[in-house]
Structures are given as C-alpha cells and as structure tokens.
Amino acid sequence: MDGGYEIVTHKSLKLAVFISGRGSNLKALIDACVDPDFPAEISLVLSNVENAGGLEYATQNNIPYEIVNHHKFDDKSGFEKEIQNVLKRYDVDLICLAGFMRLLSASFIDVWPDKIINIHPSLLPRYKGLDTHKRALADSAFETGCTVHFVRPEMDSGPIILQKSVPIFPDDTEKTLAVRVLVQEHRAYPQAVRMIAQNDIAISGKNDTINHHQD
C-alpha cells in the first residue's frame, strides 16, 4: 500500500436458479442480489418448462437463461446430462431449486456435493411433496411455514438450513395460507443463500446435520 485505499473484495457466490413456473422465489433472489452487500449473484436461470413465467424475471434483469425441456429426452439420465452440460458453460457455485418440479437423481446430486439447495412450503419433515397447505388445513394444524434445505436424493429431505413459521387461522383457505407462507419464503431463500455464502453453516458429515458457526 502506498497511501491509497485498500480495496476489499468479497467473493460472490455464483448461483444457478432452477425453476419450472412463476418464479417468485427467483424474483426474491434477484432482488436480494441487487444489494451490493449481498454475497451472491445469479449466473444462470434454468427452466425445464419452455414458457415458465419466471423466465420473464431473467429477461428483465439481463440474467442468462437456458431451457432444458425434459420432454425432449428419452429418460431422466439424458435430461440430467444435458443440464450438466449447460452448467459447465456457466460459473456456478450453488444450485438453488426454486419451484423446480423435477426430482434430481442421486448421480446428479453427487456431482454437486452440498451445493444444491431447495425451498419447500412446509415445516419439514412435515408435509413433504405437493399440496402442503391443503394437508396442513386438513390436519387443523396451528402453524405451518417454509424450509430451505440441502438436497438429498430422497424428495424434500436433507439438512435444514432455516425455517420460518406462520400461524394458521380458523378462516384460512389454501390460498390465504399460501400467500402468508410465500411472504416468508421470499425472506427465507435469500437469508439461506447469505448464510452459505458467508460460511455461517457447515454440514457435519457424521449425521448429515448442520452446525452453525458462532462468531
């Protein structure tokens, strides 16, 4: 240094966001990345659905997107091979599944060890799979919420990064509940990405759970 300012550069985590639909969680991540202090950026949006609504967010924000339509492949392995080929063309540290409606195989996940995360609209392990709000209402549950977790081959399983809960009121419908949970999803996903980017968490290999680093 010769009297100048030291420039501190933070490494930015490069994300690939996988979508199949409207992409409101993608939008939440895009909005988070606008903040210069947010330690991540989106390199790629990948959709398996040609006209997924969320692709509009990629276009509006000049984020490259790619479509890998699963219908065009004979089997899952061909579909996933093509996704891997696409990913090689981009700088990607972490894959964020955001309403991506295909279950990734163990061999795909193995290529990205602890580098694939997902958001799910329930307090896992409760209500894995679809229709989570309907099932919470049918159970007369008092609360539900959302979970961001590392992806393991079994659907909606893997070490939980964070959860946010919301109350369920007597007059709730699937729709009102979905709206309440979605608000929390949009807070949770950027928060989870930040935790990973800042190395706030580590997975313990012994029991596949998360340790939170205290500083």
What does the binding site for ligand GRF look like in residue numbers (CB under 6 A)?
19, 21-25, 54, 98-99, 119-121, 146, 185
Q: Which residues contact 109 (CB under 8 A, 6 or more apart)?
A: 116, 151, 152, 153
Closest contact distance (angstroms) between CB of 16 and ligand GRF is 15
- In whole angstroms, give the CA distance from residue 152 to residue 146: 17
Any idea which residue has 């799910």 for tokens? 120
- Cβ contact 105:79 at 8 Å: no
Of the two residues 101 and 203, which places its CB atom closer to ligand GRF in the complex? 101
Closest contact distance (angstroms) between CB of 52 and ligand GRF is 8
Of the two residues 78 and 167, which places its CB atom closer to ligand GRF in the complex? 167
Closest contact distance (angstroms) between CB of 108 and ligand GRF is 18
- In whole angstroms, give the CA distance from residue 188 to residue 163: 7
Closest contact distance (angstroms) between CB of 24 and ligand GRF is 3
Of the two residues 21 and 81, which places its CB atom closer to ligand GRF in the complex? 21
DSSP-assigned letter for residue 163: E
How many alpha carbons fall within 13 Å on the CB side of residue 62?
A: 1
Angle between helices 174-197 and 24-34 (to 10 degrees): 40
Residue number with the smallest Cβ distance to ligand GRF: 99
- In whole angstroms, give the CA distance from residue 193 to residue 187: 11
Of the two residues 43 and 144, which places its CB atom closer to ligand GRF in the complex? 144
Q: Which residues are catalytic?
A: 120
